Structure 1
């Protein structure tokens, strides 16, 4: 008899015991005498019996599985967030299915369908850049499956989120450039359908206003924030009639694209243009000049979001409306903005 085929009925037949007694013994029920229980457990081990956890979990209407959707696993922020998610889920007895949308709404919609078919107990999601409607989340709501947004979220009622204060972080980043004597500061933003990029843009504008620096919409360029966008966006800026001396980027990747291009055309950073990024990707500390950036604590965000989700799964009677947890960020000063004044 192959190990994988052994069932409680096989054990019952061999021992001449009712299968319900075997089941109780394997579940350590006090209703089975200790002597009988030991005999059953010994035979189960001898035959290589493996409990069917999936069937057991489905009977409980629970799979102990969480779905995770991120735009790109390759980004340091998301990989560190996933580490926090997996570590926390494992300790709580949950498995994790990790999926990436690759910034595609269609792919995100299909992932939700797949997670539903796999009967996940809950979903952690950071939405794609293309996500402008949220109909695909209705399936989760209809089945009463909790979900928590982290980092990129939807500004609609009744959702739970684990976020940073993007407005404040962007304000700090822009204010830092102003304290380094930048007066003409551009902003490379992400798609304005996403709350995080809207709020980073608002934080940038608020810092300019505080220091009475005129806002010019020409100095704000939205893109998908890839490295190639950094080069293209800088080329556009340099054709404008401004003496640019500061640049705040909504992520590190686009900032690095800008740095590489500016170095190629012999623009000195930070002497000519001081630059600040966002997210603290690992490459930010090794590029030359090293990139000043906002540190997003991905590990902490992952841990916090998972704990929040599991608390909702474990207590579905708990009414949760728009529960948002804000995780603190900090500015990391590096060479791309550290001008020396005489």
Structure 2
């Protein structure tokens, strides 16, 4: 059954006044007296009138919606960041559109074009693994749409960023393995063009240097850090007969792939090889042995990034100083490294 929506014309007809007066009253125009406004608002409520906020906002060339672009919603870190984003947005009266790039640059470009065309108030983005060129951000700049990078960011000047201390996370993970007696530590890295993976890699190298352990190129394996990549990396290590007793993976997913392969090959974890991941995915507590990992404050990052974005949205006429906010991370020790 089709439901007939109440329009401003229905309210005008019921009160015997012009629809233009009803429209002004509903938009809180100073051209309508308080007495008339109250009468119109009361009748609108009686009739069950609902404003079309989208149409209203589009007429004003602005919406109360922010766009969020993440690589994968399925990753726990991003889902917890989205919770923080939605919480902060809701408190400020904003809606959220969530999109995922699936780590594809072309998809990311199309999403940003669509968000700009729909006149979102601002955009929060964590770039894809394929994003090495940032020209597609120009559409937002030209449209006067503020944006904030979170977790993953572009290495271009004068941007707002909310990140974690990836260098410290990489250092802490590697130092933890060294403290457990590991001397030949492999690193599973993501694309070095992405700041987060470069910084985690630099943290790994710094920990080796601090402890007078040699850095070896053969011990660094780069990939997209999917579970299958971790599986293949571990297989490669054994096939090449590399002497290793520790693995620091730049994410949990690849670490878990490696654990599955090594355990299947009769390698004992942590006795033969200790492993540390990054991100604290829920599965890291379920797998046996449970995975030691670097915890990221996703919810907190989402809230802070949203607050920073909305500050830009509400001060479009004022040139605000750009900010990079760095959040701390912490290591959670579990059985995969308890030698």
Residue of structure 2 in register with 1:120 after alignment: 120
Please give the residue correspondences for 1:109-188 in structure 2 after superposition, counting only pairs within 5 Å.
109-188=109-188
Residue of structure 2 in register with 1:255 after alignment: 255
For the Cα contact (< 8 Å) 1:157–1:322, is it kept in 2?
A: no
Tell me how far apart the structure 2 counterparts of residues 33 and 3 of structure 1 sit (CA, whole Å).
30
Residue of structure 2 in register with 1:11 after alignment: 11
How far off its partner does 1:231 sit? 1.2
Structure 1 segments unaligned to the other structure (5+ residues): none
Q: Structure 1 pair 127/35, CA: closer, same or farther in 2 (3 Å)?
A: closer
Structure 2 segments unaligned to the other structure (5+ residues): none
Q: Structure 1 pair 111/35, CA: closer, same or farther in 2 (3 Å)?
A: closer
How far off its partner does 1:11 sit? 2.7
For the Cα contact (< 8 Å) 1:166–1:200, is it kept in 2?
A: yes
How far off its partner does 1:43 sit? 2.9
Please give the residue correspondences for 1:272-311 in structure 2 after superposition, counting only pairs within 5 Å.
272-311=272-311
Residue of structure 1 in register with 2:25 after alignment: 25
Query: Could you tell me the TM-score, scaled by structure 2's length?
Result: 0.94
Tell me how far apart the structure 1 counterparts of residues 318 and 29 of structure 2 sit (CA, whole Å).
31
1:256-304 deviation per Cα after TM superposition (whole angstroms, max 9, x unaligned): 0111111111111111111100000001011111111000111011111
Tell me how far apart the structure 2 counterparts of residues 173 and 285 of structure 1 sit (CA, whole Å).
17
**Does the residue aligned with 1:242 lie in a helix, a strand or coil?**
coil
Tell me how far apart the structure 2 counterparts of residues 242 and 12 of structure 1 sit (CA, whole Å).
81
**Does the residue aligned with 1:326 lie in a helix, a strand or coil?**
strand
**Does the residue aligned with 2:123 lie in a helix, a strand or coil?**
strand
For the Cα contact (< 8 Å) 1:159–1:321, is it kept in 2?
A: no
RMSD: 1.8
How far off its partner does 1:3 sit? 4.2
Query: Could you tell me the TM-score, scaled by structure 1's length?
Result: 0.94
Please give the residue correspondences for 1:65-144 in structure 2 after superposition, counting only pairs within 5 Å.
65-144=65-144
For the Cα contact (< 8 Å) 1:140–1:146, is it kept in 2?
A: yes
Tell me how far apart the structure 2 counterparts of residues 198 and 147 of structure 1 sit (CA, whole Å).
23
1:122-177 deviation per Cα after TM superposition (whole angstroms, max 9, x unaligned): 11111111111011111001011011111111111011110001111100110010
**Does the residue aligned with 1:243 lie in a helix, a strand or coil?**
coil
The count of corresponding residues between Structure 1 and Structure 2 is 338
